Amino acid sequence: MTLRSWIATALVATCSTALPAWADTFVFTAIPDQDERRLNERFGKVADYLADELGVDVDYIPVKSYPAAVSAFRNNQVQMAWFGGLTGVQARQLVPGSQAIAQGEEDTAFKTYFVAHESTGLEPTDTLTDALRDRSFTFGSKGSTSGRLMPEYYLREQFGQAPEQLFSRVGFSGDHSRTIALVESGAYDIGAVNYAVWEAEVEAGEVDTDAVQVIWETPAYPDYQWTLRGDADARFGDGFTQRVQQALLNMTDPDLLAAFPRSGFIPAENADYAPIERTAVTIGIMDAQ
């Protein structure tokens, strides 16, 4: 990490509202949905790619939590972020004029998997049943779309109860990799996990599928996206928003795409995430605007 990146990271950690002195540097972050080592490797390469495509200095700075990503965006410490559906909606409400500009091809129809430890005896099913009751259950981050918002919505819809009433114990792991590890170890009976993270880790041989398996998947919903601040053109020049979007759409390097993992990026707009906002309001995570 460069000295400039280190200082930028410290700024985000303290939630300072001051702009950095190097205002011509394009800075982005991402929700910490996997462990930090993987995120740094993934987004460091993306920063290099964007710098080449845009002709400006580009820095990626990590954050420690989903709310920290939203705060960094609000405070203009970063100009763009790889958000989940819920964090993107929250950030755009806080920074009027901001735009969702690109999403993964898979993000138009994302899914959550419920995974269970083998000791539960739970088997794959097409419906949520009373066999889930009184088990221990872990979500991911409290701000996660796939790790909390959508699984909680479908649990409430099916059982008419809050998770705390339905399960014997409810936790929040913080990220999807940790959710998998907690269920695999037996620390929790069941967990809600981003399907793309699950499939990537299974393919990489990092999951003991004898100990943990998928037992249910949600209906599809819109999820991750790149969101850019609405003042990007004023700061970096006319047409910068379009240039950033095109650079993301042109990202075809298999190594870059595999890191997300996505097969490619397609255009996105704020209206694509209206269902996420409605769901967040329905279960009380957000207030109606």
- The confidence score (pLDDT) of residue 7 equals 40
- Domains of the chain (ranges, CATH numbers): 3-107+222-282 (3.40.190.10), 111-217 (3.40.190.10)
- The confidence score (pLDDT) of residue 289 equals 67
Q: What are the C-alpha distances in Å from 65 to residues 30, 68, 103?
A: 9, 5, 21
Asked if residues 122 and 116 have their Cβ atoms less than 8 Å apart, the reply is yes
- The confidence score (pLDDT) of residue 40 equals 79
- The confidence score (pLDDT) of residue 261 equals 82
CA distance from start to end of the chain: 40
Six token digits for residue 213: 């398996």
> 144 in helix, strand or coil?
coil
131-170 burial: b if 16+ Cβ within 10 Å, else e: ebeebbbbbbbbbbbbbbbbbbbbbbeebeeebeebbeeb
Entry field: residues in the chain: 289
How buried is residue 270: exposed, middle or buried, by Cβ count under 10 Å (0-12/13-18/19+)?
Answer: middle
As a whole number of angstroms, the distance between CA 13 and CA 3 comes to: 15
- The confidence score (pLDDT) of residue 14 equals 41
Reading the chain (289 residues) residue by residue, the pLDDT tens digits are 443 444 444 444 444 334 343 458 999 999 987 666 777 778 899 999 999 999 999 999 999 999 999 999 999 999 999 999 999 999 999 999 999 999 999 999 999 999 999 999 999 999 999 999 999 999 999 989 999 999 999 999 999 999 999 999 999 999 999 999 999 999 999 999 999 999 999 999 999 999 999 999 999 999 999 999 999 999 999 999 999 999 999 999 998 987 788 999 999 999 999 999 999 999 888 777 6
CA proximity to 110, closest of 218, 256, 32: 218
- DSSP-derived pairing of the beta strands 265-267 and 99-104: antiparallel
Q: How far is CA 245 from the centre of its chain?
A: 19
- The confidence score (pLDDT) of residue 35 equals 64
- DSSP-derived pairing of the beta strands 225-228 and 99-104: antiparallel
